[in-house]
């Protein structure tokens, strides 16, 4: 017997197991053209084949998981057998976030996560609330009743400034638009992940390549400036950057500027667009559901009144939280998670080989009628405690799960609620009727043309 086919410890022979069902696709490119035509519709259609589905992209065979139990298996219960999928190891992504928290693996990742974790502890996060509210108020001073704005753009800028101020105690107001614009452009190459160039790992230099590297270098410059200013000042600001700068291995060695840069860039990227997107989708959903917006306004008036919102208000903003959860269900900014099996594994009665590329889709599972009534409807009221208790754990996983779950989960929820409460009592955001709101499943789930609204003072 071919020993490569034998699963360590389990004694399963992969040679005599049946492959999961799935779409056949074309002879050469497999399902790639179909996927590229409309990826969200494609991954939703694939669920009809079963809970474990096989789909070939060019020469890469992938496996899609649709059952919460199986998703839990790869993310949590058997997480040790999985690393991030190869889609996170492209040259593009490496150049962007290098070996930061999102992409690193093994003991190195564990150490970095341990170092970063204190910056995300509940008490610590509570201290960020004032910045979140103050920066939102500052944004509102630039808003005028009657004007039309792309609120998605505003949210992108706001969340970027907040992440930079809270985690790195730096101001980038002057650079925020530039950094935001560049980051937005940089993730465009991921917009259609299953292109041939993605599969080929972007090995061939093209003009787009050079442009990409030039743009990354521009953000690098800003990040290296923040790092060198902090090193020069020698001050302990008590923030994440200080913690990372001071962290030492047992042998006394410290992180070099390159590693620091990777962590900072990772947090820039992971920590701002996702939160901005959630807020943008919330504004869009509230615009379509004025009765829900009215109930939110009433809750905010009752809980907070006229004073600035604080972290202490959050437990009482129950309806706001239901709205956020429902928005994250319908428009999960991270709409897919991917893993690669280290050793072969058995999932749903199928044996997936070592090296298998495995994906779970928040987009599909969050709208699965087996777990959600009227799955396409915006119904914040569904989020009762009883409903949450009855829901299989991984039927809803906007922040992933297991050891690699989002480190910024509480940070993001707090930011979403505080920004929402601060804005909603001052302005009503009326959607512009003829402005199309289309979903662009880039690296995250974006509104393709932004979210255009007309501001109305309350
Ligand atoms: C609504 C907002 C957010 C969503 C939906 C979200 C979603 C996710 C998801 C799904 C993962 C897991 C990816 C995987 O398993 O492969 C993740 C990881 C991560 N997120 Fe978030 N995130 C959000 C906000 C934030 C914020 C505010 C920060 C930081 C300030 C952040 C930093 C990170 C980091 C560093 C990781 C990697 C953690 C690790 O592997 O140890 N995220 N996020």
**CB within 8 Å of 180: residues ≥ 6 apart:** 156, 157, 160, 272
Average pLDDT value for residue range 258-262: 91
DSSP letter string, 336-386:
-EEEEESS-EEETTEEEPTT-EEEE-HHHHTT-TTTSSSTTS--GGG--HH
pLDDT of 173 higher than 70: no
In angstroms, rounded to a whole number, what is the distance separating the alpha carbons of residues 261 and 121?
Answer: 22
CA angle (299, 305, 309) in 5-degree steps: 85
Establish whether residue 278 lines the binding site of ligand 1, counting it when its CB lies within 6 angstroms of any ligand atom. Answer: yes
From first CA to last CA, the distance across the chain in angstroms is 74
3-class secondary structure, 422: helix
254 secondary structure, DSSP code? B
Establish whether residue 116 lines the binding site of ligand 1, counting it when its CB lies within 6 angstroms of any ligand atom. Answer: no
In angstroms, rounded to a whole number, what is the distance separating the alpha carbons of residues 399 and 256?
Answer: 29
Burial class, 342, CB count within 10 angstroms (exposed 0-12 / middle 13-18 / buried 19+): middle
Selection from 75, 159, 80, 54 nearest residue 336 by Cα: 75
In angstroms, rounded to a whole number, what is the distance separating the alpha carbons of residues 256 and 233?
Answer: 17
Q: Which atom of ligand 1 lies nearest, measured to the CA of 337?
A: 16
Q: What is the pLDDT of residue 449?
A: 83
Q: What percent of the chain has pLDDT over 90?
A: 59
Token pair, residue 331, equals 């428009």
DSSP letter string, 26-76:
BTTTBTHHHHHH-HHHHHHHHGGG-SEEEEEETTEEEEEE-SHHHHHIIII
Distance 110 CA to ligand 1 centre (A): 15
Average pLDDT value for residue range 117-135: 90
Cβ count within 10 A of residue 41: 11
Side-chain-facing half-sphere of 83: CA atoms under 13 Å? 16
Angle, helices 151-168/207-233, rounded to nearest 10 degrees? 40
Confidence of residue 194 (pLDDT cuts 50, 70, 90): very low
What residue's CA is closest to ligand 1, atom 3?
274
Token pair, residue 201, equals 């790992």
Establish whether residue 71 lines the binding site of ligand 1, counting it when its CB lies within 6 angstroms of any ligand atom. Answer: no
In angstroms, rounded to a whole number, what is the distance separating the alpha carbons of residues 177 and 214?
Answer: 17
Of 153-167, 203-217, 283-297, the range with the lowest mean pLDDT is: 203-217
Average pLDDT value for residue range 50-74: 96
Q: Rounded to a whole number, what is the largest CA-CA distance in the chain?
A: 74
Bridge-partner residues for 439, per DSSP? 447
Q: What is the pLDDT of residue 4?
A: 36
Q: What are phi and psi of 396, to 5 degrees?
A: -135, 110
Calculate the alpha carbon distances from 5 to 11, 16, 61, 322, 354 in Å: 10, 10, 17, 47, 9
Average pLDDT value for residue range 433-458: 84
Q: What are phi and psi of 72, to 5 degrees?
A: -60, -40
Confidence of residue 437 (pLDDT cuts 50, 70, 90): confident
Q: What is the pTM of this model?
A: 0.91
Q: Which atom of ligand 1 lies nearest, measured to the CA of 401?
A: 15
What pLDDT digit, counting tens, does each position of 303-362 carry? 999 999 999 999 999 999 999 999 999 999 999 999 999 999 999 999 999 999 999 999
What pLDDT digit, counting tens, does each position of 212-235 carry? 788 888 889 888 888 888 888 888
Task: Give the mean pLDDT of the chain.
Answer: 87
**CB within 8 Å of 272: residues ≥ 6 apart:** 156, 159, 160, 162, 163, 180, 183
Is the backbone of residue 338 left (phi > 0), alpha (psi -120 to 50) or beta?
A: beta
In angstroms, rounded to a whole number, what is the distance separating the alpha carbons of residues 57 and 322?
Answer: 38
Establish whether residue 103 lines the binding site of ligand 1, counting it when its CB lies within 6 angstroms of any ligand atom. Answer: no
Calculate the alpha carbon distances from 249 to 20, 265, 434 in Å: 45, 22, 57
Q: What are phi and psi of 350, to 5 degrees?
A: -105, 145
Distance 335 CA to ligand 1 centre (A): 12
Establish whether residue 411 lines the binding site of ligand 1, counting it when its CB lies within 6 angstroms of any ligand atom. Answer: yes
Distance 54 CA to ligand 1 centre (A): 27
pLDDT of 291 higher than 80: yes
**CB within 8 Å of 243: residues ≥ 6 apart:** 115, 116, 118, 119
Selection from 260, 248, 270 nearest residue 187 by Cα: 270
More confident position, 7 or 182 = 182
Distance 400 CA to ligand 1 centre (A): 8
CA torsion angle 166 167 168 174 (round to 10): -50
Q: What are phi and psi of 101, to 5 degrees?
A: -55, -35
Selection from 36, 41, 43 nearest residue 22 by Cα: 43
Average pLDDT value for residue range 17-38: 91
């Amino acid at each position: 017997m071919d020993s490569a086919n034998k699963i360590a410890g389990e004694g399963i022979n992969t040679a005599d197991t049946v492959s999961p069902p799935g779409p056949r696709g074309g002879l050469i490119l497999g399902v790639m053209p179909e996927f590229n035509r409309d990826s969200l519709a494609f991954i939703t259609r694939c669920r009809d084949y079963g809970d474990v589905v096989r789909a070939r992209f060019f020469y890469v065979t992938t496996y899609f998981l649709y059952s919460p139990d199986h998703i839990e298996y790869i993310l949590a219960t058997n997480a040790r057998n999985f690393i991030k999928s190869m889609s996170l190891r492209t040259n593009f992504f490496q150049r962007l976030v290098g070996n930061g928290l999102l992409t690193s693996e093994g003991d190195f990742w564990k150490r970095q996560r341990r170092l970063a974790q204190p910056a995300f502890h509940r008490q610590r996060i509570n201290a960020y609330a004032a910045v979140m509210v103050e920066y939102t108020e500052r944004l509102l001073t630039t808003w005028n009743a009657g004007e039309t704005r792309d609120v998605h753009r505003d949210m992108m800028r706001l969340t970027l400034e907040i992440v930079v101020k809270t985690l790195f105690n730096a101001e980038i107001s002057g650079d925020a638009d530039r950094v935001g614009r560049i980051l937005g452009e940089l993730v465009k190459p991921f917009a259609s992940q299953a292109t041939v160039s993605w599969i080929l790992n972007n090995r061939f230099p093209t003009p787009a390549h050079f442009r990409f590297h030039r743009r990354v270098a521009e953000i690098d410059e800003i990040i290296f400036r923040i790092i060198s200013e902090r090193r020069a000042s020698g001050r302990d600001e008590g923030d994440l950057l200080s913690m990372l700068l001071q962290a030492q291995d047992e042998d006394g060695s410290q992180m070099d500027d390159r590693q620091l840069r990777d962590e900072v860039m990772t947090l820039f990227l992971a920590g701002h667009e996702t939160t901005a997107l959630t807020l943008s989708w919330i504004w869009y959903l509230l615009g379509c559901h004025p009765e829900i917006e009215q109930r939110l306004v009433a809750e905010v008036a009752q809980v907070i009144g006229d004073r600035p919102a604080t972290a202490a208000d959050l437990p009482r903003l129950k309806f706001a939280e239901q709205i956020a959860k429902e928005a994250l269900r319908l428009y999960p900014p991270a709409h897919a998670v991917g893993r690669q099996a280290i050793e072969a594994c058995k999932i749903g009665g199928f044996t997936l080989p070592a090296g298998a590329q495995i994906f779970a889709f928040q987009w599909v599972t969050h709208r699965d009628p087996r777990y959600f009534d009227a799955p396409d409807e915006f119904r914040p009221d569904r989020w009762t405690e009883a409903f949450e208790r009855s829901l299989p754990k991984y039927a809803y996983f906007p922040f992933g799960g297991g050891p690699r779950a989002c480190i910024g989960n509480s940070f993001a929820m707090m930011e979403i609620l505080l920004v929402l409460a601060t804005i909603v009592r001052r302005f009503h955001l009326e959607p512009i009727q003829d402005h199309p709101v289309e979903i662009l499943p880039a690296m995250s789930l974006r509104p393709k043309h932004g979210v255009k609204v007309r501001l109305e003072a309350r």
